[in-house]
Amino acid sequence: MPALQIDPRAKMVIALIWTVAMTMVESIAALILGLIPIIIIVYWSKQQQAFARWLRLALLMIAGWVVIAFLTLDWRMAVLIGLRILVLAGIFFVFLRTTSPEDLGGALQQMGVPFSITFLLTSSLQYVGVMEHRIRQIIDAQRARGIPLEPGWHALRFYPALLVPLLVQSLMAAEHLAAAMEVRGFSRSGRSQLVTYHWRSRDTLAVEVTLLAALLIWFQC
């Protein structure tokens, strides 16, 4: 996959700026404009299939909020909420697909962030891909047993067959991780870094362009 050649810290700042902007806007047009750069990055990085799988996982949540908003408020607010969740999910997807957890953790540690915090962040980001892989494995295994786990309302009553094995595997993985950290001396001091990260002019330019685009969308829409 093509990588965005900017500092991991710049990617995090860009994602935060776009998240705040898309959370604050109250216009459907603004959210559509905010979705355009996400789609461009997805196509440029050739992640269409992965993005489609990501959307299928978020579709049930989006549909639920849209229905609730439509029944309690009005159709415009329902569309607004649905688009907002879609854009925020897209921001999270692009950030995870273009930023290595190790690079982000290393860059933050270089800034002086304690290793325990960077390790927690890195592990959380790495676990997203692990969870996605485990979910696919469990779904395939349950399908082989004749349990339909396709996305949709009709499959809700079968979801315990997915959630229970996932919870058990997560607890086992947490126990193994804790044991590995203890054996390798997680709490020791004096750690060194393999890679040194540098904030360049292109990183500043990328952040400034993102901030300018967010402000334009905010004031024009």
Task: Decide if 197 contacts 106 (C-beta within 8 A).
Answer: yes
The yes-or-no verdict on residue 54 having pLDDT over 70 is yes
pLDDT at 124 (0 to 100):
76
How far from 5 is each of 2, 9, 19, 29, 145, CA to CA, in Å? 9, 12, 21, 30, 45
Closest CA to 10 of 134, 136, 95: 95
pLDDT band at 189 (very low <50, low <70, confident <90, very high): low
Instruction: Burial-class residue 11 by CB neighbours within 10 Å (0-12, 13-18, 19+).
Output: buried
- In the chain, the amino acid numbered 169 is Q
Taking the chain, what is the end-to-end CA distance rounded to the nearest angstrom?
Answer: 34
How far from 194 is each of 54, 105, 174, CA to CA, in Å? 32, 12, 26
Helix (H) / strand (E) element for 62: namely: helix 48-72
Closest CA to 123 of 107, 138, 102: 102
pLDDT in tens, 125-182: 777 777 778 888 888 888 788 777 766 666 667 777 878 888 888 888 877 777 777 7
Give residues with Cβ within 8 angstroms of 221, minimum separation 6.
25, 27, 29, 30, 33
The yes-or-no verdict on residue 88 having pLDDT over 80 is yes
Structure token digits, residue 43: 């196509």
What's the gap between Cα 151 and its chain centre? 20
2: helix, coil or strand? coil
Q: What does the chain come to in residues?
A: 221
pLDDT at 211 (0 to 100):
92
Sign of CA dihedral 155, 157, 158, 160: positive
Task: Decide if 104 contacts 122 (C-beta within 8 A).
Answer: yes
- In the chain, the amino acid numbered 93 is F
What does the alpha-carbon distance between residue 30 and residue 32 come to, in Å, rounded to a whole number? 5
DSSP 158: G
Average pLDDT over residues 64-87: 83
Share of the chain above pLDDT 90, in %: 5
pLDDT at 2 (0 to 100):
46
Q: Name the more confident of 154 and 108.
A: 108
Query: Would you list the domain boundaries of the chain?
Result: 8-185+199-220
